[in-house]
A and B are shown apart, each in its own frame.
Chain A
Amino acid sequence: MAEEEWEPKILAFCCNWCSYAGADAAGMERRQVPPTIRVIRVMCSGRIDPAFVLMGLLEGADAVLVTGCHIGDCHYVNANNKTRNRYEFLKEFVDELGLEPDRLWLRWISASEGALFADMVREVTEKIKKIGPSPLRRDWKK
């Protein structure tokens, strides 16, 4: 594929109660969101096993976004604290493995923050376009 044609593939895990609705809101407000993102809805960011994120990276996602409710706003008391804890592990892992730190993101986005969601996707897409495709991605020759 030629360089300019390349579009990143970004995997986003969105919490049902906040960031998924936030993504919805971005759409309702007719905000421009780059088509690079693939959303997986989860009931809570605390449900996101680090293994999911790692599998996403191994499958060839150029970046993985973990999004959830702001700390203190979790629908299930404090599960997003776990998310934050796990993110620290993932961050260290991704860095040590030799992937760029920008391939992993954690953002708190509430249901009303459609603008924030759209901005985030734009920001991630731009950054990933700069650093290029993930080295974990395998392209099979035709």
Chain B
Amino acid sequence: MSRCYLAWAKDERIREKGADGGFVTATLVSALETGFIDIALVVAKKSVYEGIPVLTSNPEVVKECAGSLHGAPINLTKYVVEYAAEKRIGLPTKPCDARGIIEQAKRRQVNLDNIFMIGLNCGGTLHPLRMREMAADFYGLDPDSVVKEEIKEGKIFLVSKEAGGKEKETAIKIDELEQKGYGRRDACKSCVTKIPTSSDLACGNWGVPKGEEKKTFVEVLTAKGEAILKNAIDSGYVCIEEAPGEGIEMRRKIEAGMQKLAESWKERIDEVNALSRSGRFDFYVDALKNCIHCGACKEVCPVCACEKEAKCLDMNDERDSYAISMYNVLRIFHLMDSCIHCGQCEDVCPVDIPLTLIQRRFSERMQRHLGYTPGMSVDEKPPLYETELRWNAESMMK
């Protein structure tokens, strides 16, 4: 079904403000104006370091929110569940947003038929405060003077407003920054889902030929994606042309390159790999004993759908003196088949438990064992809830 196009917003203002031709903004605006969707969920930019999710049916608000925002590592899944589960909603989705929403759909928290996911290719996000430090330490800028940021061609571009009102662009290679412990979040560095293949459209600048900037490479992934694209074209908001063959190839190459890099980051970040069995045990106990049971990791988890009536909360008694609390054990256990490695839990952990690493270590081996990748297709149920083994039962019996 998948077809690839180059697309851009007809409205020059949207095209200018949005990243790479403003296709995503134009599509959402058109869908709102034509009544194709009831509501859109976008991230309003307060500064390059701060974005606040906004739920709106006003196309003007959506236009305001155009442009990329790498310094606001938000996962939109829980916002969809909380505020728009009943509505026909359109939203831009990073791969981890899309995967989270698919997982929630599996758990019947949202109706996927009503959700139009305009996927964004994603090289990763940055923690806003790390980005501030980075701007000061590496770019030599006053963090507050940075007005725009962009990630392209393996570099992070920061645009700052100079004294005379002039804008200055500084670029540093991501690799160089990350060698020194800055750059993207750990979860993003080691994420291999760079193109949101589980959303309805996948958009980005990978595969846009040189000289054709201000265009978006769009891949149509589902019938819903086709419908919202058709709506945008028919209502005159978006122009498309067939994507050139070398563009498709280029995009594939970029993705493969980033995936390879991510795999190597996984190795580099994983301090547990080198440990012995008992060393591993000590590592987990030492890391998790710091937990103060604030419950934030569960609250923000895009996969968890248990709300207040959760096993990990019910079976956790703070009077127990276990080496690892039931809360942590059960959360890790329940996410073994479903963790999408988005890193939201680590972002909010008040005692800095390396949850991205821990969840990844437990879930990746299980997911490999099961041959299952969560958040990809709503038809694949979470294996933990299945009666039959996911893998070939006959081969197990032998």
What is the interface of chain A, defined by CB distance below 8 A to chain B?
49-51, 54-55, 58-59, 71, 78, 81-82, 84-86, 88-89, 92-93, 96-100, 135-136, 138
- The interface residues of chain A lying within 8 Å CB-to-CB of B223 are none
Q: Is the CB of B284 within 8 A of A89?
A: no
In the bound complex, what is the Cα–Cα distance between A71 and B387 (angstroms)?
12
Known: A92-B365, A98-B281, A138-B321. Contact between A58 and B389, CB under 8 A? no
Cα(A52)–Cα(B281), bound, Å: 20
CB contacts (< 8 Å) of A92 on chain B: these are: 336, 362, 365-366, 369
Asked if B323 and A93 make an inter-chain contact with CB atoms under 8 angstroms apart, the answer reads no
List 17 A-B residue pairs with CB atoms under 8 Å apart, sorted by A's residue number. A51-B330, A54-B330, A71-B397, A81-B389, A82-B387, A84-B396, A85-B384, A85-B387, A86-B384, A89-B336, A89-B366, A89-B384, A93-B366, A98-B278, A100-B277, A136-B324, A138-B321
How many of chain B's residues have a CB under 8 angstroms from any CB in A?
37
B281 touches A97 (CB 8 A): yes
A138 to B329, CA, bound (A): 17
Known: A50-B333, A85-B388, A89-B384. A98 touches B323 (CB 8 A): no
Say yes or no: A135 contacts B387, CB within 8 Å. Answer: no
B389 touches A88 (CB 8 A): yes
A54 to B332, CA, bound (A): 11
Using Cβ atoms and an 8 Å threshold, which residues of chain B touch A98? 277-284
Instruction: Count A-B pairs with CB separation below 8 Å.
Output: 80
Chain A contacts for B280, CB-based, 8 A:
96-98
Known contacts A54-B329, A71-B397, A89-B384; is-contact A99 B324 (Cβ 8 Å)? no
- Sort A-B residue pairs by CB-CB distance and give the 3 closest, nearest first: A98-B281, A98-B280, A58-B322
A59 to B279, CA, bound (A): 21
For residue B326, CB closer than 8 A to chain A, the reply is yes
Q: Say whether A55 contacts B326, CB under 8 Å.
A: yes
A93 interface neighbour in B362, B383, B390, Cβ under 8 Å: B362
CB-CB under 8 A from A96, the residues of chain B are: 280, 361-362, 365
Chain B residue with Cβ nearest A52:
B315
Q: Which residue of the partner chain, among B315, B366, B383, contacts A51 with CB atoms under 8 Å?
A: B315
Q: Name the CB-closest residue of B to A82.
A: B387
Give the interface SS of chain B, mostly helix, strand, loop or mixed: helix
Does A85 lie within 8 Å of B386, measured CB to CB? yes
Given contacts A93-B332, A136-B323, 13 further A-B contacts (CB under 8 A): A54-B330, A55-B326, A85-B384, A88-B370, A92-B336, A92-B365, A92-B369, A93-B333, A96-B361, A98-B279, A98-B281, A99-B281, A136-B324
B326 and A51 contacting across the interface, CB-CB below 8 Å: yes
A19 and B322 alpha carbons, distance in the complex (Å): 29
Give the distance to chain A from B315, nearest Cβ to Cβ, in Å. 5
Q: How far is the CA of A51 from the CA of B330 in the complex (A)?
A: 7
- Asked whether A55 and B336 contact (CB < 8 A) given A85-B389, A98-B277, A98-B282, the answer is no
| Residue of A whose beta carbon sits closest to that of B284 | A97
Could you tell me the distance in whole angstroms from the C-beta of A140 to the nearest C-beta in chain B? 8
A135 and B330 within 8 A (CB) = no
Question: How far does the Cβ of B50 sit from chain A's closest Cβ, in whole Å?
Answer: 37
User: Shortest beta-carbon distance, B321 to chain A, in Å?
Assistant: 6
Question: Which of A49, A78, A89, A136 is close to B322, meaning CB atoms less than 8 Å apart?
Answer: A136
- Determine whether B320 belongs to the interface, using a CB cutoff of 8 Å to chain A: yes
Which residues of the partner chain B approach A71 to less than 8 Å between Cβ atoms? 397
